[in-house]
Amino acid sequence: MNRRPRGLTAPAVRSLARKVAQAISVMLLVSITVFFAMRLIPGNPAKDVLGTKATPVAVAALDQRLGLDRPLIEQFWSFLKGVPTLNFGNSLVEEGVSVRHIIFDGLGVTALVVAASTVLSLVVGVPLGLWAALARRQQVVSHSVQSVAVVLLAAPPFLIGLLLIFALSVKLGLFPVGGWGAGLGSDLSHLALPAIALSGYLIPLVIRTVRQAALDSSRELYVEASIARGISSRSIMYKQILPNSLLPLITLIGLNVGTLISGAIVIEAIFALPGLGTALYQAVDALNYTVIEGCAIIAAFSVVVANLSADALYILVDPRVRRGA
């Protein structure tokens, strides 16, 4: 008698190992690209720090202190050695301040915005997607939900954010216009509008994914057999259709983490949040190589980890993928 394989099978382990190797290769390629792309930008950080009236001698002395006078390959090797430990050295502009400190100060805010928008997208998008699929005989309901999804998908998050500020902050005074709070309650009130604005991108994708997955599941033979046995429609929906409809969301969220992070950076500028976007904007303005490199590596690392986690989770929760990985 054949038994279903439990845990990770050998193909699944090989698949995960292959994906980990691919993730390491991607991070190495990103590190190389970021480092050398920054060196192609015209300008000198030492001149930006000292000002336009700085003498060549002072600029050369600061270049030496910052290590910018070393050979490019030597600078790259120092940078590459620090990537695995997220040690990007010190800021070129703020003396004695580590890049890791600058990034981690803002990373928490960015992560909260992305996480809150993802949770909100799932809470809103999953029920609407199921409703649009299971109420397909009620064309008005199905078309209404799909129309809302199309409108949200067409509206960029920054526009949604501006409209929310005008309507809910300026006119009604229900939420702060921007900034960040000093406690949990204040943080949540400042987080609400940015999360809603950013979720405007993900909600329609969740609706469309869940709707299509639910329609596909409802046509499966096991669902038709359950209906023939007289099992209630509620039980069929929660035990058979819903679990299979949620599986594609793992891939959807994993693939869209990068878009959510880039969207969060724009949203932070609109709502004046002290996140990673603010640190990146200030670094670009001051030509602060090390902070720009650090922000880019952290963003890339987040995307790679999210995709790798989605692949691993999909293998773990779906026996079909686990057996044939």
- Are 114 and 261 a contacting pair, CB within 8 Å? yes
Whole-angstrom CA distances from 29 to 35, 98, 112, 136 are: 10, 24, 28, 47
pLDDT given for residue 323 in this prediction = 59
Computed from CA positions of residues 62, 64, 69, 73, in that sequence, does the dihedral angle turn out positive or negative? negative
The CATH code belonging to domain 10-42+86-324 is 1.10.3720.10
pLDDT given for residue 115 in this prediction = 93
pLDDT given for residue 5 in this prediction = 47
Task: Count CB atoms within 10 A of the CB of residue 143.
Answer: 11
pLDDT given for residue 197 in this prediction = 93
pLDDT given for residue 137 in this prediction = 59
pLDDT given for residue 204 in this prediction = 92
Measure CA 167 to chain center.
Answer: 27
pLDDT given for residue 243 in this prediction = 80
Residue ranges in the chain modelled with pLDDT below 50: 1-5
Enumerate residues 6+ apart whose C-beta is below 8 A from 170: 177
